Structure 1
């Protein structure tokens, strides 16, 4: 399973890369939404983990771009935020995300969310 992690904090990218790789996932990272957007053209991802507030292109803008690609229209997106789930839900774009998690990240809950999303994603089941 290929996961793209997008966050402007290198420490977050490194920790999630290590966590997910340890659990058998293939991980690609991007430091902002624009860098991630460019990677969409070159690889097939099974799941996205996207930070909310980033320079250049924020997580909402990136997720809208992800959803515009036919291949990714139903690919799970885990949205990370320091602003609180209720704020993100009130923005009106929460339907873009498969789940919203608060930062700092609870690694156990993140892994449970990933497992649940990937097992219910038909694209992943066919791999």
Structure 2
């Protein structure tokens, strides 16, 4: 069984918070000896949190935890309970497209991903999450 831990960072609806989340995630993973996951985890968290901030009007949260199975779970919570748009394959997204890459990158880089409705922070909303194998 792996060491387990769980961190949550609550953020305002402000694109500058994406940088705060990315740097916090880097520190958490580094302090827990998971430096090999940092680059991929930062990319995934950036896409998750960017989507939460850009596509909703309320606050958001980044949650990162290590599961007993040894997975690193990264989730972005936002106040919109509706499902995210299904990702297209990366090779079908135009190089000039300004939107649409986020979930495609998550699908391509994460071991698992998904979404679920959530009322965790007292508001209706959803988590969009992904997992990386850390074992």
Greater helix proportion: 1
Is the strand fraction higher in 1 or 2?
2
Structure 1 length normalisation: TM-score? 0.32
Larger radius of gyration: 2
